[in-house]
Amino acid sequence: MGSEAGDSPNTHVVALGALNAGISVIPIRADGSKAPALRRWTNYQQEAATEGEAEAWFQNTDQGLGFVCGRVSGNLECVDFDDRDSYEAFRARASEVGLGLLVERIEAGFLELTPNGVRWAYRCAVIGGSQKLACRPSVLSPSKKGLKTLIEIKGEGGYFIAAPSAGTVHC
């Protein structure tokens, strides 16, 4: 994220590498919606795409890349911090309660900076569903009493957008 063209592998290369690492991948719409580009993607929650499918999906360099969480990806789970302030507060509190080494271990494995936040991805023995961990009232629509998600876990049945998704794909 944020690197110059040519500095990092393209989506096609990363998608094939993820498949080889046992991670189910899906294409993400290039319209900023964060939605899968497939009409039916739920079968990829149970069975990973073939290399041929991934080859076809990721020829377009503007195509976004999604990693499917759960058993299909070897119990892949993701903690998604939607803003850096929430991430820094979580990290500081984890250190205060003696979990600093655990945080460092997760960050050493997979730490991805998004345009506004941070993502951790890891594999775990027991995996649950996706869930929101922290929210606040939305400042964009206070009259609607909406909530802005600050931290969430992407687990079984969920997915997250991964670098190097490009173009208008919203990470």
What are 28-65's pLDDT values in tens digits? 998 888 899 998 999 999 999 999 999 999 887 677 99
Tokens 């890349």, residue? Answer: 65
- Crossing angle for the helix pair 100-109 and 84-96, nearest 10 degrees? 130
Report how far residue 30's alpha carbon sits from residue 27's, in angstroms, rounded to the nearest whole number: 9
Task: Flag whether 144 is in a domain.
Answer: yes
Task: Flag whether 170 is in a domain.
Answer: no
Q: Can you state the percent helix, strand and coil of the chain, rounding each to 5?
A: 30, 25, 45
What are 81-128's pLDDT values in tens digits? 999 999 999 999 999 999 999 999 999 999 999 888 999 999 999 999
Helix (H, G, I), strand (E, B) or coil at 125: coil
- What is the count of structural domains for the chain? 1
Domain that includes residue 125, residue range: 11-162
pLDDT value of position 70: 97
Cis ω on the peptide bond leading into residue 164 (within 30° of 0)? yes
What is the rounded radius of gyration, in angstroms, for the C-alpha atoms of the chain?
Answer: 16
Task: Flag whether 167 is in a domain.
Answer: no
- Which pTM value belongs to this model? 0.87
Strands (E) across the chain are located at 25-28, 64-68, 76-81, 111-113, 118-123, 131-137, 147-154, 159-162
H-state helical runs in 23-137: 51-57, 84-96, 100-109
Task: Flag whether 110 is in a domain.
Answer: yes
Task: Flag whether 168 is in a domain.
Answer: no
Report how far residue 68's alpha carbon sits from residue 50's, in angstroms, rounded to the nearest whole number: 14
Strands 131-137 and 64-68: unpaired
